[in-house]
Amino acid sequence: MRLGIVKINFASALDFLYICRMRKNIIMRELYITNSLSRKKELFKPINEGHVGLYVCGPTVYGDAHLGHARPGVTYDVFVKLLRHLGYKVRYVRNITDVGHLEHDADEGEDKIAKKARLEQLEPMEVAQACTLRYHEAMRELNVAPPSIEPRASGHIMEQIAIVKKIIDAGYAYESNGSIYFDVMKYDRDHKYGILSGRTLDEVKEGTRELDGQQDKRASYDFALWKKASPEHIMRWPSPWSDGFPGWHLECSAMSEKYLGKEFDIHGGGMDLLFPHHECEIAQNTASRGTGGVRYWMHNNMITIEGKKMGKSLGNFITLPELFAGTHPKLAQAYSPMTVRFFILQAHYRGTLDFSNEALQAAEKGLKRILQAVKDLKELASAAGVTSTAKGTDGHDAGNLAYGEFLTSTAPEEGSITATSKEIKDIVENTYAALCDDLNTPIALSHIFDAVRLINSAKDKKLKLSKEDLQALVALFDNIVYGVLGLKDEENGGGKAAKTIDGLMHMVIEQRKAAKAAKDWATSDRIRDELKAIGIQIKDTKDGIEWTLD
Ligand SMILES: [Zn+2]
């Protein structure tokens, strides 16, 4: 018994310490997010104070990561970094869909991964694994930090079967030839189907095509929870109803409940998933556990290419490796991962974002201006004896400084405030206000550009920045530009393509050196001129040869 008492005391002491720590670090700033469920901007209130459970639909892994993956990747990465910076402890779950996602998002047709495996004569899991690794690589290049948990649909078949059983027991699903379908009409009578998309059942019916092979369903809008596998179908698991596989919508109900509980804070994903995928998730959750399960639904808008939807048949389907290397015919040049990240942040996540070479080139220029200002700021700061507050700027440890600490470290002393200090204070405040107003990154960036303007004036000696001003600006760039927005320096473009260019440049420079050593001036000059013609400047300095891209 004594042991028991000691244990309780120890635990409560830890609790006490934890609460003290939380109180010290968290100055909770009001955060507003647009909830797709209410179609309104709402004040975010977590279920458990100081904690956020976030689930985001991840990629279906059957090809290279493309532009369409970059937007949710970057958007929710910035959102998580902001939450952590504000002092929340975040459990971020982003799944990998490696089974059940059929062609055209329909209930019939071939599994997307199995089809790729058949075409390439691979095991489906080989396709899923290779594509998952390539997706991770692309996200890493974009400086998107990995989620807290990355569950795979194929690793959660048991949990999915358990949910199907619960839905059948509740009377909202029926068996037909070994497959199980969700009874949308019955559910609609009791709970109302369509609360997320705002569609009535009649509207849903109108929008659902009667496809061949759907004879098993009672109604066209019913959706599959479990599909009996045809003899040639490779990805299959035993179940009480048939050897088969789960319906696509089911995995997210199963994995979000398993890792975040019956009810959790935020569910995110692309707007293309709002209907039917997320609508079906709500119906499945309600039918199996009596609650829709999610407090706030967040949806990022799509990327269009020169005003058109991206699609393989339109010839405008650009993968991220192609974008970073500039190898797609639509691309005028290679765009570095940070340029792409910056381009995404220049639009509000709920607005459309149109890709064009002009827009990417403008983003490249804007990013360059910010990163140059960071360099100038660091020089001004180090000359004034101000050091960086950041613990790390690799973007994987966002929220270098908790928001509360940040405010106290940058607050100017009472009475000593100059017009410039006041301006900097306003810039900091406005940047936070924008980020906390439904993650308004374009407005936040416009305030960052105000800071860039001040830094440029200080560099040109048109403005004097005090030590405190410099301290505040360094903290703003460390915490927001590097920390929350996750931008980082890219020497000569960054990423895999840049590494390749670097290697090639090394070779070319060595050849020019050899030509010079042999007094072969014609070759040496030709190399320099040909590089210049493709936009590469080389300069002989006392430290060796330097090269820059125009
Ligand atoms: Zn999902």
Encoding tokens for residue 35?
């909830």
Tell me how far the alpha carbon of residue 218 lies from the centroid of ligand 1, in angstroms. Answer: 25
* pLDDT confidence tier of residue 504, bands split at 50, 70 and 90: confident
What pLDDT does residue 7 have? 39
The pLDDT tens digits of the residues spanning 445-476 come to 999 999 999 999 999 999 999 999 999 999 99
pLDDT averaged over every residue in the chain? 87
Report residue 417's pLDDT band, with 50, 70 and 90 as the boundaries: confident
Per-residue exposure over 214-226, b if at least 16 CB sit within 10 Å of its own CB, e if not: bebbeebbbbbbb
Alpha helices in 326-418 (DSSP H): 337-345, 357-383, 403-410
- Distance (angstroms) between ligand 1 centre and the Cα of 248 equals 8
Cα 323 off chain centre by: 17
Tell me the CA–centroid distance for residue 303 and ligand 1, in Å. Answer: 19
CA dihedral of residues 411, 463, 376, 414 (deg, nearest 10): -10
Pairing of strands 173-176, 179-182: antiparallel
Whether the per-residue pLDDT at 63 is higher than 80: the answer is: yes
pLDDT tens figures, 4-46: 333 334 444 444 443 334 444 445 689 999 999 999 999 999 9
Q: What contacts 90, CB < 8 A, 6 or more positions away? A: 51, 52, 54, 80, 83, 84, 148
Strands 244-246 and 308-309, how do they pair? unpaired
The CATH number of 31-300 is 3.40.50.620
CA of 99 to the centre of ligand 1 (A): 12
Q: CB neighbours (10 Å) of residue 166?
A: 15
Pair of tokens at residue 322: 């192609």
Residue 299, beta-bridge partner list: 269
- CB within 8 A of 458, min separation 6: which ones? 376, 380, 464, 465
Residue 309, φ and ψ in degrees, nearest 5: -65, 145
The pair of three-digit structure tokens given for residue 307, joined into one six-digit string: 């005003």
Those residues whose beta carbon sits under 5 angstroms from the ion ligand 1 are: 57, 252
Cα 138 to middle of ligand 1, angstroms: 20
Expressed in angstroms and rounded, the spacing between residue 516 Cα and the centre of ligand 1 is 60
- How far does the centroid of ligand 1 lie from the alpha carbon of residue 219, in Å? 23
* The pLDDT value given to residue 491: 66
Are 173 and 183 in contact, with CB atoms under 8 Å apart? Answer: yes
Would you state the pLDDT for residue 103? 76
**Of 453, 403, 492, which is closest to residue 83 (Cα–Cα)?**
403
Distance CA 88, CA 359 (A): 34
Predicted confidence (pLDDT) per residue in 279-320, tens digit? 999 999 999 999 999 999 999 999 999 888 887 777 788 999
| Structure confidence at residue 209 (pLDDT) | 66
- Report how far ligand 1's centroid is from the alpha carbon of 305 (Å): 24
Q: How confident is the model over 247-262, as pLDDT tens digits?
A: 999 999 999 999 999 9
Cα of 274 from ligand 1 centre, angstroms? 9
The answer to whether residue 185 scores a pLDDT higher than 60 is yes
pLDDT higher for 47 or 113? 47
CB atoms within 10 A of CB 322: 18
For 65-104, write each residue's pLDDT tens digit: 999 999 999 999 999 999 999 999 999 999 999 987 887 7
Closest CA to 473 of 493, 452, 494, 487: 452
pLDDT in tens, 477-494: 999 999 999 999 886 544
Q: Name the phi and psi angles at 356, rounded to 5.
A: -155, 160
pLDDT (average), residues 314-329: 89
Please say whether the beta carbons of 330 and 316 come within 8 A: yes
CATH topology for 322-484 is Isoleucyl-tRNA Synthetase; Domain 1 (1.10.730)
The pLDDT score that the predictor gives to residue 206 is 82
Q: What does pTM read for this prediction?
A: 0.82
Here the tokens at position 481 are 């530009």
How far does residue 432's CA lie from ligand 1's centre (Å)? 30
CA of 54 to the centre of ligand 1 (A): 12
> What's the 283 CA to ligand 1 centre distance in angstroms?
13
CB atoms within 10 A of CB 40: 9
322-484 shares the fold of 31-300? no
**What is the enclosing helix (H) or strand (E) of 51?**
strand 51-56
| Residue 495, pLDDT above cutoff 60 | no
Give the distance (Å) from ligand 1 centre to CA of residue 251.
Answer: 7
How many Å lie between the centroid of ligand 1 and the Cα of residue 271? 12
What pLDDT is stored for residue 506 in this prediction? Answer: 80
Cα–ligand 1 centroid distance for 58 (angstroms): 7
Distance (Å, whole) CA 526 – CA 532: 10
Residue 414 has pLDDT above 60, yes or no: no
* CA 413–ligand 1 middle distance (angstroms): 49
CA of 249 to the centre of ligand 1 (A): 6
Alpha carbon of 100 to ligand 1 centroid (Å): 11
Question: What pLDDT is recorded for position 13?
Answer: 44
Residue type, 61: V
Domain boundaries along the sequence of the chain: 31-300, 322-484, 492-549
What separation in Å is there between the alpha carbon of 309 and the centre of ligand 1? 21
- Residue in the block written with tokens 């079906």: 280
* Of residues 328 and 167, more confidently modeled: 167
> Is the Cβ–Cβ distance between 452 and 373 less than 8 Å?
yes
Q: Mark out the alpha helices in 411-440 (DSSP H runs).
A: 419-436
Taking alpha carbons only, the member of 340, 353, 357 closest to residue 307 is 353
pLDDT in the model for residue 28 = 65
Find the 179 Cα to ligand 1 centroid distance in Å.
21
